[in-house]
């Protein structure tokens, strides 16, 4: 089995690469073609070739193409990392991320971090990757160590690392990712190793334990290399000749897996990981075909190995739902047959209400997946399509290339590990709203039903009894604010992405006006649905400039924008501003808000390279009418 076995094989990767080079394509088309190629299972030599092509294309690009994001990644390492760069860049490409990499000089991470005039500081990274290896952790065998000695040693290592984390967060305003230590598969005492506080096995375990505890506390992300190495198997992971000869900790052979694993973290920082799992029914959630085999004929649950394998898969899917992944069904069936097991089969762990959208009909799966995306108001690139049928997978890949389509193993016993190994749902934070996500999407469908019953929109909105809570950024909202900033594409005026560290800076900076907006109504709590960030306009201190305004599409058409503007104007006036300035930067996804400012009464002022600017005179502004009751918890406004 190849390391990235869930990605489809490419029949002729070299040929495809040559084609990208020879066809008369613009750099943006070349980039898209290259991205599709990286969504295949390639070896490290092929990835090296992709990376060469990528660097050629990047030189020809003017600016960032629509739909892509750029991320400045600084890598500080205590071992040789250059051989892994192609794999890291190619894996980021898979997620639509263009990396601008800075590699610190070999094993000089201390100097780089402690010198504010270093090249690292000049580079202004978004993410700093601190790759301190087991070899660098200064773990040596100390047979006379007591438990307390071991604890002191661990503490002193951690103190040094936490100092670096603080520098990266506070001085560089970047996200820090540190790898865990790969515990070497070398024994001194045998099984007794773990009982000797001065033994390397004991010390490495304690160091990793402390890293995991402290990382959460300090908002540092972990690149869990120890877990990855265990997944591969330590014997295969540790290539001692390679280490001694070239100071490479990770074999080039494992580069593709290493890059993929790391890129998931970057994708998650940029909010590009998947949100929704679309599942087939027959031979995916149960064995057999419900329409032919009937309720008694399908295999599910206790009694057979196959039946238990499907039950285990359902349990895993249910766990994903509990952490906030939206579930949907896409099946070719008569609806009544497809739903029968949900209503009548006693071993079904997944219930109908676990699914936010259900498409059971005879349309093509590509059409149905698109319908689900529209219904849930999410992008195709945030959908994972899981179907046992290779033909259906091929069709979805062909017509919807942005959808993630793993190669589902033939044996259902391997479904769980396939979905788990593929890592589409990587998270860098868990907010309390995540486990309520499905009920929020369901409440939305209820609301739409209510709207159908109301005679006019005004009555519908009034009957919703909406209550809005507006407050400045705070530490409680930080994770969700950052998540929204990085995930919202459609109702997003400027699509500026900020890391959690940057948002924290803005929160602390009194010149910024920040708003986190939550909305409740009689169908449920929508949670945080809008974020606004504004600051004095450069060169015109009387104007408040709206850097970011975004909203969750779940609450479209509810007058949220008007209520938010009323509150923003109020705050601007209190601070002595006389004008608001808005900006719209077009992307392929935000056409929805092209006329946002115009519809709120702003006047067009300027167009600069595609972006439009809009002004609102606060002296003549009249509050916009809404059906929303607003509660604001303002900090003292100056």
Partner 1 sequence: MSTTSRTREDIAKELTGIFHNVFDDDRIVLSDSMTAADIPEWDSLNHINLVVATEQHFEIKFKTSEVAKMANVGEFIEAIASKLQR
Residue numbers of the site for partner 1 (CB under 8 A)?
14, 43-46, 48-49, 52, 82-83, 241-242, 244-246, 248, 251-253
Taking the complex as a whole, the smallest distance from the CB of residue 141 to partner 1 amounts, in Å, to: 23
For residues 91 and 278, which CB has a smaller minimum distance to partner 1 in the complex?
Answer: 91
For residues 241 and 510, which CB has a smaller minimum distance to partner 1 in the complex?
Answer: 241
Taking the complex as a whole, the smallest distance from the CB of residue 77 to partner 1 amounts, in Å, to: 14
Describe the strand order of the beta sheet including 513-521 as a list of residue ranges: 603-608, 611-617, 579-584, 540-551, 524-537, 513-521, 466-471, 628-632
For residues 14 and 138, which CB has a smaller minimum distance to partner 1 in the complex?
Answer: 14
Report the C-alpha gap between 330 and 385 in whole angstroms.
9
φ and ψ at residue 186, rounded to 5 degrees: -125, 130
For residues 83 and 535, which CB has a smaller minimum distance to partner 1 in the complex?
Answer: 83
Taking the complex as a whole, the smallest distance from the CB of residue 225 to partner 1 amounts, in Å, to: 19
For residues 82 and 448, which CB has a smaller minimum distance to partner 1 in the complex?
Answer: 82
For residues 242 and 630, which CB has a smaller minimum distance to partner 1 in the complex?
Answer: 242
Report the C-alpha gap between 401 and 395 in whole angstroms.
10
Sheet strands (E) in 86-154: 97-103, 127-131
Report the C-alpha gap between 130 and 388 in whole angstroms.
40
For residues 233 and 303, which CB has a smaller minimum distance to partner 1 in the complex?
Answer: 233
Report the C-alpha gap between 624 and 125 in whole angstroms.
41
Taking the complex as a whole, the smallest distance from the CB of residue 405 to partner 1 amounts, in Å, to: 27
Cβ atoms of residues 595 and 570 within 8 Å: no
Phi/psi zone of residue 563: left (φ > 0), alpha (ψ -120 to 50 degrees), beta?
alpha
Give per-residue burial for 250-282: e unless 16+ CB within 10 Å, then b: bbbebbbbbbbbbbbbbbbbbbbbbbbbbbbbb
Taking the complex as a whole, the smallest distance from the CB of residue 31 to partner 1 amounts, in Å, to: 18
Beta-bridged to residue 588, according to DSSP, are none
Taking the complex as a whole, the smallest distance from the CB of residue 9 to partner 1 amounts, in Å, to: 17
For residues 69 and 251, which CB has a smaller minimum distance to partner 1 in the complex?
Answer: 251
Cβ atoms of residues 479 and 516 within 8 Å: no
Taking the complex as a whole, the smallest distance from the CB of residue 183 to partner 1 amounts, in Å, to: 23
Taking the complex as a whole, the smallest distance from the CB of residue 278 to partner 1 amounts, in Å, to: 36
Alpha carbons within 13 A on the beta-carbon side of 635:
14
φ and ψ at residue 497, rounded to 5 degrees: -100, 140
* Residue closest to 335 by CA, chosen among 366, 379, 368, 383: 368
For residues 24 and 241, which CB has a smaller minimum distance to partner 1 in the complex?
Answer: 241
Taking the complex as a whole, the smallest distance from the CB of residue 33 to partner 1 amounts, in Å, to: 17
């Amino acid at each position: 089995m190849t390391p990235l076995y869930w990605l489809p094989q490419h029949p002729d990767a070299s040929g495809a690469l040559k084609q990208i080079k020879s066809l008369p394509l613009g750099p943006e088309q070349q980039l898209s073609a290259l991205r599709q190629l990286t969504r295949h299972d390639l070896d490290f030599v092929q990835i090296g070739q992709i990376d060469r092509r990528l660097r050629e294309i990047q030189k020809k690009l003017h600016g960032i193409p629509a739909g892509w994001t750029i991320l400045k990644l600084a890598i500080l390492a205590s071992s040789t990392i250059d051989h892994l760069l192609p794999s890291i860049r190619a894996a980021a490409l898979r997620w639509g991320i263009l990396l601008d990499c800075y590699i610190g000089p070999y094993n000089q991470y201390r100097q780089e971090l402690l010198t504010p005039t270093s090249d690292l500081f000049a580079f202004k990274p978004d993410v700093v990757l601190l790759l301190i290896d087991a070899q660098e952790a200064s773990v040596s065998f100390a047979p006379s160590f007591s438990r307390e000695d071991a604890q002191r040693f661990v503490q002193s290592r951690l103190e040094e690392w936490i100092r670096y984390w603080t520098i990266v967060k506070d001085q560089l305003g970047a996200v820090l990712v540190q790898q865990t230590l790969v515990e070497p598969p070398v024994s001194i005492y045998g099984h007794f190793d773990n009982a000797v506080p001065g033994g390397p096995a004991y010390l490495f375990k304690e160091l990793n334990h402390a890293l995991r505890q402290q990382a959460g506390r300090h908002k540092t992300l972990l690149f869990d290399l120890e877990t990855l190495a265990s997944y591969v198997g330590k014997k295969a992971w540790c290539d001692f000749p390679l280490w001694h000869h070239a100071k490479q900790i990770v074999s080039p052979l494992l580069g593709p897996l290493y890059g993929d694993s790391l890129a998931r973290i970057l994708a998650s920082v940029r909010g590009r990981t998947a949100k929704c799992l679309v599942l087939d029914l027959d031979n995916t959630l149960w064995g057999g075909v419900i329409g032919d085999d009937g309720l008694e004929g399908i295999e599910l649950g206790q009694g057979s190995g196959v039946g238990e394998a499907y039950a285990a898969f359902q349990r895993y899917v249910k766990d994903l739902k509990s952490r906030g992944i939206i579930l949907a069904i896409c099946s070719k069936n008569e609806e009544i047959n497809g739903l029968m097991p949900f209503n009548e089969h006693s071993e079904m762990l997944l219930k109908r209400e676990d699914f936010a959208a259900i498409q059971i009909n005879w349309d093509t799966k590509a059409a149905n997946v698109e319908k689900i995306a529209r219904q849930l108001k999410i992008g195709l690139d945030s959908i994972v399509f899981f179907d046992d049928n290779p033909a259906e997978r091929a069709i979805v890949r062909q017509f919807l290339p942005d959808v993630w389509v793993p190669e589902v193993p033939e044996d259902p016993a391997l479904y769980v590990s396939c979905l788990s190994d593929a890592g589409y749902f990587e998270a860098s934070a868990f907010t309390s709203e995540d486990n309520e996500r499905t009920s929020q999407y369901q409440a939305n469908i209820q609301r739409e039903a209510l709207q159908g019953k109301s005679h006019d929109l005004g009555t519908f909105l009034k009957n919703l009894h909406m209550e809005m809570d507006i407050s400045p950024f705070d530490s409680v909202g930080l994770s969700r604010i950052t998540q929204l900033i990085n995930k919202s594409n459609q109702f997003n005026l400027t699509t500026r992405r900020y890391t959690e560290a940057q948002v924290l800076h803005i929160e602390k900076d009194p010149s910024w006006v920040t708003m986190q907006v939550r909305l409740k109504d009689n169908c449920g709590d929508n949670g945080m649905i809008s974020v606004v960030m504004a600051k004095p306009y450069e060169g015109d201190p009387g104007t408040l400039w709206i850097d970011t305004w975004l909203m969750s599409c779940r609450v479209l058409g509810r007058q949220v924008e008007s209520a938010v503007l009323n509150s923003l104007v109020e705050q601007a006036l209190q601070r002595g501003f006389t004008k608001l300035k808005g900006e719209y930067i077009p992307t392929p996804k935000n056409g929805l808000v092209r006329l946002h400012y115009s519809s709120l009464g702003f006047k067009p002022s300027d167009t600069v390279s595609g972006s439009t600017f809009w002004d609102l005179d606060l002296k003549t502004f009249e509050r916009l009418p809404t059906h929303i009751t607003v509660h604001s918890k303002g900090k003292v406004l100056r």
